[in-house]
Chains A and B, each alone.
Chain A
């Protein structure tokens, strides 16, 4: 248990650090901007209480907001992401057997499930975030292009990070 807490605290710090000091400076053709920090919310354990999940999502969002000068924007997107995560997991994962599968990582859940999980959650997060940011229906086509390509890039980063820390476990 304490091991899980320690790992997640470390992951929080590392993810914020990578996002703010590395990925914040990346922008390809003004279209692709990766938001890799959602990895923290994706990899929280299955048996986390809903309330704690929302608090952590809100805290992560506000931390990113402080560095990005956009109070509330990332917090709102992260809370939305947390809700989508709860719904997605309740649909695709059986309630029993959480002892064997503590965390939704690539190694434990398999490539197909993790890819779908990352793709859908990333897309919805980016869709919410970028539309809230631009807040203009007249720019919707341009925003959707940004959502599409940014999602591809973020999912690629998520998969790479999943493969870097790959630990095969029998399900």
Chain B
């Protein structure tokens, strides 16, 4: 027993190393598998506060870019206004729409922390469970899909970016409605994605827009990007296709969290089906 204690104290550096390393790795592995350790992340109030303070300071440097993107979006919305269409008939009818009900609602939020140059990237937004945000909701910006909400605090939420190895979004070609999945490439380029699990017989052209399919969390037809390269490298049984992502992750400012009003119903039905 005495010899054992002497042995341990002589090599205490190594034994302490084992203890601390195992502690750190347990935290690391737990977080990856079960996503439990929400308290050590930027949706934590204290860390979030520091980020939003610094964000306020750096905000002024980006005003030009923000103005541009807002102006572009305004122009887009203006195009959809009733007043921008020429009315062809002189008879005015009032239609009480009972067929179309709103399925998706949008909550606007500001990005207060963002990363795009690591293997797995996350964003922090300044809306949380108080604004009705829950885990698993989709996040889009004016130019396309951004990511999926993973953790929520009362006032902040963490979003798993599209630039993450576990993010997989059901996608389709805008012209032919062929369905596949969009993942992030493993060469860490924040402007490129990969389209996988496509049928071989489908004819694909460079420049075709890629949008979300109806199977995803996002409204059908939300922009993902354009096909940039047809690398017919055979991986298992599908072709790999490179996609230029439409969202510029390096200057994300304002995003919208998408709430699907039918999501609960869909989940309940699909759970029944599995039984």
* A residues with CB within 8 A of B: 21, 24, 27, 30-31, 33, 50-51, 54, 57-58, 61-62, 65-73, 75-76, 79-80, 82-83, 86-87, 132-134, 136, 139, 142
Contact = CB atoms under 8 A, between A and B. Distances in A.
B56 to A, nearest CB: 13
Contacts of A30: 117, 187-190
Interface stretch (B14-22, B64-72, B172-180, B208-216): B14-22
Given A50-B16, A58-B20, 16 more contacts: A21-B54, A33-B117, A50-B13, A51-B16, A54-B16, A58-B23, A66-B42, A70-B28, A71-B28, A71-B31, A72-B28, A75-B24, A80-B17, A83-B13, A83-B21, A142-B186
A54 B154 CA distance: 34
B119 interface: yes
Classify the interface of chain A: helix, strand, loop or mixed. helix
A149 to B, nearest CB: 13
B170 interface: no
Contacts of B19: 54
A62 B26 CA distance: 13
B29 interface: yes
B47 interface: yes
A44 B13 CA distance: 16
A72 B42 contact: no
Interface in B29-49: 29-31, 37, 40-42, 44, 47
Given A50-B16, A83-B13, A133-B119, A76 B44 contact: no
B147 to A, nearest CB: 12
Contacts, number: 96
Contacts of A75: 23-24, 27-28
B135 interface: no
Contacts of B31: 70-72
B115 interface: yes
Contacts of A80: 17, 21
B25 interface: yes
B229 interface: no
A127 to B, nearest CB: 15
B200 interface: no
B187 A66 contact: no
A30 B14 CA distance: 35
Nearest to A75: B24
B44 A66 contact: yes
A33 B21 CA distance: 23
A155 to B, nearest CB: 20
B12 interface: yes
B218 interface: no
16 contacts: A30-B188, A33-B118, A50-B12, A51-B12, A51-B16, A58-B24, A66-B40, A68-B118, A69-B158, A71-B28, A72-B28, A76-B21, A86-B13, A133-B119, A134-B119, A136-B186
Nearest to B54: A21
Nearest to B35: A71
A47 to B, nearest CB: 14
Nearest to B41: A69
Contacts of B28: 70-73, 75-76, 132
Contacts of A31: 188
A66 B41 contact: yes
Contact of A66 (B13, B21, B47, B117): B47
A136 B165 CA distance: 11
Nearest to A58: B20
Contacts of B30: 72
A35 B111 CA distance: 24
Interface in B77-135: 115, 117-120, 122, 124
Contact of B24 (A21, A61, A69): A61
Given A69-B122, A71-B31, A71-B40, A54 B190 contact: no
A35 B118 CA distance: 12
Contacts of A139: 186
Given A86-B13, A134-B119, A72 B29 contact: yes
